[in-house]
Amino acid sequence: MRLNTGQETFDMIKIGALVSGGGTNLQAIMDAIDKGGINAEVAAVVSSKEGAYALERAKSRGIENTVIRKKNFKTAEEYELALAEYFKERDIDLIVLAGFMVILGTTFVNQFENRIINIHPALIPSFCGEGFYGLHVHEAALKAGVKVTGATVHFVTAECDAGPIILQKAVDVMDNDTPETLQRRVMEQAEWVIYPKAVRLFADNKLEIADGIVKRR
Ligand code: GRF
């Protein structure tokens, strides 16, 4: 657990990651931690799917990992309670959603208020909310003809993609982009840059939320 010593120094925070896929954002966070300057460790990784490559990334670093599948539970609430219990048993301070394909409700979110963050591959409030995931986000951006898109790191509330915004970074859209090329550029230029930065700000206790707005301390 993090302790405020009164001297602006904190114990290392423990991160729990929720994943479903490739885990490139998890990788970017782990790499940034390795480079130094982020007072955090990834302590546990939970996947909603068997075989997610993100699990291999955790295993290769000796990070505790497991699969907790929604369909093994009778209700969404039971699933969320199991996830919450897993992280609580491990004293997790910050939960990072890194390509997690399950929408979390109040059962989970209320137990980790202001301690769950997510990355969305667009500039919220554009191209977000239910149905806007993966390539669909970039298809929608291209269809709208926007010239700039990007990524957003935000705190997670029970309303999909609507929690307080922590960081955003813009990325140019090119005339010849496909959803795939745009997705890649958004990842490289925005997601992998701002997600580790947001983790660092959280770990350094630099984020403050007032009236739904994040301010830096
Ligand atoms: C990323 O585009 C992220 O913005 C979104 O899901 C994708 C996950 O990719 N939430 P990865 O698993 O981190 O590679």
**What's residue 180's pLDDT?**
98
Q: Decide: 121 in ligand 1 pocket, CB within 6 A.
A: yes
**What's residue 9's pLDDT?**
55
- Report the nearest atom of ligand 1 relative to the CA of 22: 12
Strands 116-120 and 94-98: parallel
Task: Tell me which residue has its CA closest to atom 12 in ligand 1.
Answer: 23
Distance CA 73, CA 85 (A): 14
Q: Decide: 23 in ligand 1 pocket, CB within 6 A.
A: yes
Higher pLDDT, 113 or 5: 113
Q: Decide: 119 in ligand 1 pocket, CB within 6 A.
A: yes
Task: Tell me which residue has its CA closest to atom 7 in ligand 1.
Answer: 99
**What's residue 11's pLDDT?**
84
**What's residue 5's pLDDT?**
45
Mean pLDDT of the region 4-32 = 86
Q: What does the pLDDT look like over 126-181, one tens digit per residue?
A: 999 999 999 999 999 999 999 999 999 999 999 999 999 999 999 999 999 999 99
Task: Tell me which residue has its CA closest to atom 2 in ligand 1.
Answer: 121
6 pLDDT above the threshold of 50: no
When computed from its CA atoms, the radius of gyration of the chain, rounded to whole angstroms, is: 17
Mean pLDDT of the chain: 95
Q: From the DSSP assignment, how many helices (H) and strands (E) are in the chain?
A: 7, 9
H or E element, residue 151: strand 148-155
